[in-house]
């Protein structure tokens, strides 16, 4: 009996790892780019690896680099990180619905590995999600992110000067590359991004807020306003029926 239970547990872990391989491969370019950018921002390889090990959140790590370049304060960077990653709250809440019963401490352990990608894979998986599956999935994705961040930093050292200068655009190009495909999905995304961009530009040009706070305020204003508009539109449609 015990043998069978052990086998099942091993299979779950292996299934998780197999599902993690596509994420691991998908993380390679992003992690390499992060390592390269961390290098040009002036972070040491130790600091780069530490950030990937401790934070393990692509967008937040990129953002911290651009905020560091702009001379933003530590507290603002941490707050921006929180605002950017608060969406994981929703993903964890949703995944919690289909995860198997476990001690809260076990769930708290695999919660560390929740990213947009691991969440998506686990959320569309058939049936329930076990802790062992999550640990296998997280392990591969995490290893890929950390290892390739380090490789990216190491490679960055050998890039020519003119290349390093033009790399200041890389961060922004990457944000554009994340945003544009989502914009094709609907006008709502276009409005969200455009409103936040306009608010942030106003705050920046008028010097009303420092960079970090301008981004946080513009983001929240845009997210709340667009949601209010969506809600009002739904009410109008309902009333018209």
Partner 1 sequence: MQSEIVWMIIGMGVATYIPRMLPFVLFRGKELPEFLQGVLKNVPYATLGALIFPGILFIHEDIWYGILGAAVAIFISFIGANVIVVVLGSIAVLSLYSFFI
Nearer to partner 1, 21 or 231 (CB): 231
Side-chain half-sphere exposure of 207, counting CA atoms within 13 A:
0
Nearer to partner 1, 1 or 205 (CB): 205
d(CA 108, CA 102): 10
Q: Does 108 bind partner 1 (CB under 8 A)?
A: yes
Stretch that binds partner 1, among 5-13, 121-129, 140-148, 218-226 (CB under 8 A): 218-226
Contact with partner 1 (CB under 8 A) among 114, 121, 137, 141: 114
Closest CA to 153 of 67, 51, 3: 51
Contacts (CB under 8 A) with partner 1, residues 1-40: 29-30, 32-33
48: its two tokens: 């780069």
Contact with partner 1 (CB under 8 A) among 9, 147, 170, 209: 170
24: its two tokens: 């691991």
178: its two tokens: 């994340």
Contact with partner 1 (CB under 8 A) among 205, 238, 239, 240: 205
**Cβ-contact 149, 56 below 8 angstroms:** no
> Residue 169 carries which DSSP code?
G
Contact with partner 1 (CB under 8 A) among 14, 230, 232, 235: 230
Site size for partner 1, by CB under 8 A?
93
Q: Does 120 bind partner 1 (CB under 8 A)?
A: no
Q: Does 229 bind partner 1 (CB under 8 A)?
A: no
Residue for token pair 């390679």: 28
Q: Tell me whether residue 185 is exposed, middle or buried, using C-beta atoms within 10 angstroms of its C-beta: 0 to 12, 13 to 18, 19 or more.
A: exposed
**Max Cα–Cα distance, the chain, nearest Å:** 70
User: In the bound complex, what is the minimum distance in angstroms from residue 59's beta carbon to partner 1?
Assistant: 7
Contact with partner 1 (CB under 8 A) among 24, 64, 129, 130: 64
């Amino acid at each position: 009996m015990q043998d069978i239970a052990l086998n099942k547990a091993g299979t779950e872990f292996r299934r998780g790892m197999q599902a993690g391989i596509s994420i691991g491969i998908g993380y390679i370019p992003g992690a390499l780019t992060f390592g390269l950018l961390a290098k040009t921002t002036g972070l040491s390889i130790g600091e780069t690896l530490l950030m990937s090990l401790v934070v393990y959140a692509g967008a937040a790590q990129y953002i911290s680099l651009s905020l560091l370049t702009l001379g933003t304060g530590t507290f603002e960077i941490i707050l921006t990180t929180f605002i950017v990653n608060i969406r994981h709250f929703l993903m964890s809440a949703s995944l919690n619905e289909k995860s198997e019963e476990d001690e809260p401490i076990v769930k708290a352990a695999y919660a560390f590995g929740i990213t947009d990608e691991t969440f998506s894979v686990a959320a569309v998986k058939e049936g329930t999600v076990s802790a062992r599956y999550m640990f296998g999935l997280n392990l591969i994705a995490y290893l890929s992110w950390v290892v390739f961040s380090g490789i990216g930093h190491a490679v960055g050292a050998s890039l020519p000067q003119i290349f390093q200068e033009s790399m200041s655009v890389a961060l922004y190009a990457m944000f554009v590359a994340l945003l544009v495909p989502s914009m094709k999905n609907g006008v709502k995304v276009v409005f969200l991004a455009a409103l936040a961009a306009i608010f942030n530009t106003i705050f920046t040009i008028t010097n009303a807020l420092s960079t970090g706070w301008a981004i946080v305020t513009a983001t929240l204003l845009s997210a709340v306003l667009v949601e209010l508009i969506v809600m009002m539109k739904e009410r109008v449609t309902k009333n018209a029926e």
